[in-house]
Amino acid sequence: MCRRAPVNFEPETIIYDFSKHCPCPPLCCPCCSPCCCPIPQRDPESCCIAQIKNLVIQLISLFSSQTAISVTVTTKSGAALTGIPAALSSTGTDFGLFTLKNSYGEIIHAIPLGAIAAIYVPTSSGLSSITYLPVPICPKPCDPCSEAAIRAYLATVPTSSTVNFLIENGISVSGRIYRNEYCLAVLTNEAGNPTFVQTCSSEDITVTISNG
């Protein structure tokens, strides 16, 4: 049964069209107002996964033809899965699977995008060409995982400092902040190689200030 909205209900407007990347299904009925994606009660991390999808598409474009570059995908369960970026497999109604292959072209891993906590790339080649999805601007932001607060905090960290992310299941990722993007922190090691951290998976962030 369709329930009517309360009298003081204020309709929300999607200013930035995130639907191209964030597949939010329509709400139950016309009397309900659409919410800025993601819809909290359905998938609070939808737009963070959309940022991961945007990244994965570019990693595939950069490295799928190179047999010498194997990325390491750290999942939220703590698994470290290594392989050459192969393809994004999707039905068109979901975010899909990030597949990794070996040097013979055989698929060795198929990783749901929602399971990805971090991706390490053992080269800085192409790093500067990677682009990121912008912050969706909404009158009433949906931010159950404190993404905006994390991004604001990281903006205060000196670029010379080392940041350590404790993400789900005790996984720890460290490096210096290279980019501080919506739902995604890009850390680099001493060689300049990046680790892309899905910030919605963060449980703790510690900063070591450099004295140099």
In the chain, domain spans:
46-133+144-208
Cα 79 vs. chain centroid, distance in angstroms? 17
pLDDT at residue 212 in the model = 58
Q: What are phi and psi of 165, to 5 degrees?
A: -100, 125
Beta carbons of 49 and 196 less than 8 angstroms apart: no
What is the tens place of the pLDDT at every residue in 154-203?
A: 999 998 999 999 987 788 999 999 999 999 999 999 999 999 999 988 89
Instruction: Name the CATH topology of 46-133+144-208.
Output: SH3 type barrels. (2.30.30)
What is the tens place of the pLDDT at every residue in 57-81?
A: 999 999 999 999 999 999 999 999 9
What is the tens place of the pLDDT at every residue in 107-138?
A: 999 999 999 999 999 999 999 999 999 987 65
Q: What are phi and psi of 138, to 5 degrees?
A: -130, 145
